[in-house]
Amino acid sequence: MTVPGLPVESDGAVVLPLPALYSSVTRARHLVRDLLRAWDYPELVEDAELGTSELVANAVRHAGTDLVLTVGAQGGSAGVVKIAVQDGEPELLRQTVARESGLPEQGRGLQIVSTIASEWGVTIVTGGKVVWFQLRAPGAGAGARSPAAAQVRPRHHRRHRVGSAG
């Protein structure tokens, strides 16, 4: 799917530059919803919107720099959607640990992402970092999906941390 006015990488991933404004959360969430529906991943829309909202809000709140949302999919038997947010802050914040009394009002973003994602991680890149997550379609492999073999790949890797839902 091409989106008028938005760059599409050679692998079919859609790229959306965003300012460091909280209104970017809504814009990113709507793009992800529309792409996943168009790519025939309706079962992933809710989790993808939630994860996207958390990553974009974290980037706006903590990095305070312009950011780039990249959304890609691998079709066929893989049935994987990958969503990444790149910001201009290379520092990683320590993840908040839940206390016995429950989770704090803020600091739940990556905990939510780790719960919904089949895989997620942080990659340090030149001039910032990329936080990404993947979602696998239930019953992946049932029919062809679009776009063909799109993947999200950050450029200029320096350090890579990965978490997976277990």
Dump pLDDT digits (tens) for 97-114.
Answer: 444 445 444 556 788 888
Q: Helical H runs in 39-79?
A: 45-58
0.85 surpassed by pTM: no
* Mean pLDDT estimate for the chain: 77
Calculate helix-pair angle for 23-38, 45-58, nearest 10 degrees: 150
- Give the class (CATH, top level) of 14-95+106-163: alpha beta
| SS3 at position 17 | strand
pLDDT band at 131 (very low <50, low <70, confident <90, very high): very high
Tokens standing for residue 85: 């947010």
